[in-house]
Amino acid sequence: MNYTLNNLPERTVKPREIGLSMIMDKGLSIRQVEDMLETAGVHIDMVKMGWATSYVTPNLKEKIEVYQSAGIPVYFGGTLFEAFLVRGQFDDYRRVLDKYNLSLAEVSDGSIELPHEEKCKYVSTLAQQVTVLSEVGSKDVEKIIPPYQWIELMQAELDAGAWKVIGEARESGSVGLFRSSGEVRSGLVQEILTKIPYEKIIWEAPQKAQQAWFIKLIGSNVNLGNIASNDIIPLETLRLGLRGDTFNHFLDV
């Protein structure tokens, strides 16, 4: 650290099971990745190549290697899994994971209809090849899943072999866990937490107010995802109570 501040909340260090920050890469250049690693590499637990952006970025292989050399696992957004699945190309998808030496993969059904039992089978199958992140929640604003069902889905996907479950929010933070205004569905989150340990959940929370809300509810070491590449340092200050939004929260405790 550059200087010493007393009585800061304690942060976990990498590699860790809680306090994870998952970053969204939606088309960074190699230099932009290097810049991000220089300033914030120590705070990045994993990087998601957002949805199917990996299909149209020419620097994919080299970029993945830059991340991996820095010890940061990379995975493809769940929409890519769905794009392969809906085309009957699941086996191709598994080969693509190997081609890029990926150790993580996401299973989701945000844009497709997939019987839940089948989804869980994909979790199990992929779990034999990689570590699986399994996402719950639709990208469709009109599909409201009641809390008890979020819990059932999450539990079943963990039972099927998912390392963590992800609560859907999109890049914009306006569906799934959130109202279209970006406001947290706080009752939903609190009910989920009565049954699923917070250690097993990564909350997609791209907006600052959303991040602050989860930090105040769960603590500095909540797992957060879909963090924009230039919001990693700001997020770290929120976790430490060093930004206005969480400043007084950590002084009170």
**Among the listed residues 119, 99, 101, the one whose alpha carbon sits nearest the alpha carbon of residue 109:** 119
Where do contacts with its own copies occur on this chain (CB under 8 A)? 1-7, 26-32, 34-36, 38-40, 42-43, 50-61, 79-80, 82-84, 86-87, 89, 92, 96, 99, 110-112, 139, 170, 172, 208, 230, 232-234, 236-237, 240, 242-244, 247-248, 251
Structure tokens, 155: 């539990």
Measured from the CB atom, the residue of 16 and 195 that comes closer to its own copies is 16
Nearer to its own copies, 19 or 160 (CB): 19
User: At closest approach, how far in Å is the CB of 147 from its own copies?
Assistant: 23
Q: At closest approach, how far in Å is the CB of 197 from its own copies?
A: 27
- 141 versus 159: smaller Cβ distance to its own copies: 141
Q: Is the peptide bond before 115 cis (omega within 30 degrees of 0)?
A: no
Shortest distance in whole angstroms from residue 189 CB to its own copies: 22
Shortest spacing between CB 59 and its own copies, in angstroms: 6
Comparison of 138 and 160: residue with beta carbon closer to its own copies: 138
Q: Smallest distance from the beta carbon of 16 to its own copies, in angstroms?
A: 16
